[in-house]
Chains A and B, each alone.
Chain A
């Protein structure tokens, strides 16, 4: 048997439910597609998971059940090459086309997402004339993930702190403080998570759409596709995932922090990037898979 064939079968077994953890949920295997402009995305199936944790930092409490609708998510973090291709000036400290874009303001991420939507003939998801570029729910364009979508995708059906098991394997899956030389690296170099998503636990942390709150369960949120929406002002937004500076603790799927959206000249961080998601219907997915 050729090595490649063995790898495909092994991966299929893993994705179809070959057990790696006791708290694993059963969800259909995700599917990788290429967008109209050739960007690899993973179809993350709808499902239910336990968001947050029962013990840990106060803002990660409490553990609670959440259901998430299906969506497409970028296989890798948005790279500087992808950013520049849409004629957006690269703000990154660590200049390299293959590395993730960082030091990117929250609105600049949205600018990229709207431009990528336009480039692929989709309706931009964000209304650029509203404060914070409010979502247009009927639009089919690219957007930032919600916090729930991000955590669901990172956990990939596993209840533990990392989808791959314990912290001692972190180096295999993520660029974090202990192996990064304190800088970003080319996106997609480490092992992907169970659902085929790279760098969910390291390289750069990632913007989400949600407003940051003191606990992960926002009392006003539904348990179905929850989102902590802005009530005005320059609210902090939730940033998820570890980065090249993180300790193992700060790279957990449940870790969250709030960041100012960067509406300043001087203060925005070199360890925050993002990846795109998009809501798709089963019919659209069928077309994209062809």
Chain B
């Protein structure tokens, strides 16, 4: 058989192999997202509203064995963030209604024991590398507002000593929200709204200094990947993205988007990296304003902490995929729904499970 004839004979087989390779490349790894979640050793904490109360639940990465960690029918907990070693959880608590509400920050063991208050009139805790400090944002005013950027300054809680110290540039930081540490501990990434001379943007804030770099990306709620080489964020209400970032450069900048998750129908928010950087979780639901008739909730955009987000659930996708994934047309294997009850399931946070 001549070479051309041989090629013609194998053409259909080659086509099949090419399709398989392309499919693997687009999903980023072998197997469906759900298959990968089933074999994952990580867990996911999230906030949810059950029986008239906010609680923090934790579940396996595939959504199985969901368990109420807080189990406090009279206390409203949300915004869980787990320490890098998976042993402790920082979270916020709301006590009161409307402008009289006091939002406080707490830390507890991952099993819900040994709760300890960190600060009153504060929000949005974030763990430092190594889990020695918990950063947080003091409120701008004592009067409560559900608006996420109602913050002024930045503080660090030392887990060992229980002492609180301000960020060295705290006096010049205001209207930040959703901060998180880069794994190298050098930078903190956060969104700012109408503050620090920026209309709306995502900033790199030097953790131990005064440098501030505007990353010049639209949208909000950034998060740096565990290897420190990518950033995930929400460019808009209906889009999540990842892109490379060089945090070791003199002036770090964000490269072209590698992953884009789109949903024209629903809002998609609260993206978080798995501890190995291979998967992303996020919350997704209808574009509604929070149902404020429920106790302990506020009327604000559904994605806000404290707003009851009807029919919102937690989802996961591969972080290793490339290109655009439209959730309304994507194949079943390309993403996975982890919660199904729609009880305002939001703010997913991956963690390493030690038990």
A residues 89-124 near B (Cβ < 8 Å) are 89-93, 95, 103, 107-108, 111, 115
What does the 1/0 interface line of B140-164 toward A look like (CB < 8 Å)?
Answer: 1111010111110000000000000
Chain B residue nearest to A86 in the complex (CB): B143
Given the known A-B contacts A265-B301, A266-B220, are A87 and B194 also in contact in the complex, defined by CB atoms under 8 Å? no
Closest to B289 in A: A263
Instruction: Kindly state whether residue B77 has any CB partner on chain A within 8 Å.
Output: no
Query: How far apart are B263's CB and chain A's nearest CB, in angstroms?
Result: 14
B237 on interface, CB distance cutoff 8 Å = yes
User: A87–B143 Cα gap in the complex (Å)?
Assistant: 6
From residue A99, how far is it (CB to closest CB) to chain B in Å?
12
Instruction: Tell yes or no: B3 within 8 A of A by CB.
Output: no
Most chain A CB inside 10 Å of its own CB: which residue of B237, B301, B302: B301
* Stretch of A126-134, A156-164, A207-215, A242-250 on the interface side: A126-134
Which of A86, A92, A107 has its CB near the most chain B CB atoms (within 10 A)?
Answer: A107
B237 touches A267 (CB 8 A): yes
B337 within 8 A of A: no
Contact (Cβ within 8 A) A266 B218: yes
CB-defined A-B contacts under 8 Å, sample of 15: A87-B140, A89-B145, A89-B151, A91-B147, A93-B199, A103-B194, A111-B145, A128-B98, A131-B299, A132-B289, A263-B302, A265-B148, A265-B234, A265-B237, A266-B237
Q: How many residues of B contact A (CB 8 A)?
A: 34
A88 partner residues in chain B, CB cutoff 8 A: 141, 143, 145
Cβ contacts under 8 Å, B150 to chain A: 89
Contact A266 B219 (CB under 8 A): yes
Is residue B251 within 8 Å, beta carbon to beta carbon, of the partner chain?
no
Q: How far is the CA of A22 from the CA of B137 in the complex (A)?
A: 59
Q: How far is the CA of A192 from the CA of B222 in the complex (A)?
A: 45
Q: Please indicate the chain B residues that have their CB under 8 angstroms from the CB of A115 in the complex.
A: 99, 143
| B300 located at the interface, meaning its Cβ lies under 8 Å from any Cβ of chain A in the complex | yes
**A91 lies within 8 A of B193 (CB):** yes
Determine if B293 and A130 form an interchain contact, defined as CB atoms under 8 angstroms apart: yes
Counting residue pairs across A and B whose Cβ atoms lie within 8 Å, the total is: 79
B215 beta carbon closer than 8 Å to chain A: no
Complex CA gap A37/B300 in Å reads 28
Contact indicator B288/A265 (Cβ below 8 Å):
no
Does B73 have its Cβ within 8 Å of any Cβ on chain A? no
A270 within 8 A of B: yes
Q: Does A234 contact B (CB under 8 A)?
A: yes
CB-CB contacts below 8 Å: A177-191 with B: none
Chain B CB within 8 A of A264 CB: yes
- Contact call A270/B199, Cβ cutoff below 8 A: yes
Chain B CB within 10 A, most for which of A86, A89, A131, A267: A89
Residues of A within 8 A of B78 (CB): none
Q: Which residues of A contact B193 (CB under 8 A)?
A: 91
Contact A131–B289 (Cβ < 8 Å): yes
Contact of B194 among A90, A128, A129, A266 (CB under 8 A): A90
Given A93-B199, A128-B299, A266-B219; A87-B142 close (CB under 8 Å)? yes
- Which of A92, A108, A130, A266 is close to B236, meaning CB atoms less than 8 Å apart? A266
A103 to B287, CA, bound (A): 20
Q: Decide yes or no whether B88 CB sits under 8 A from chain A.
A: no
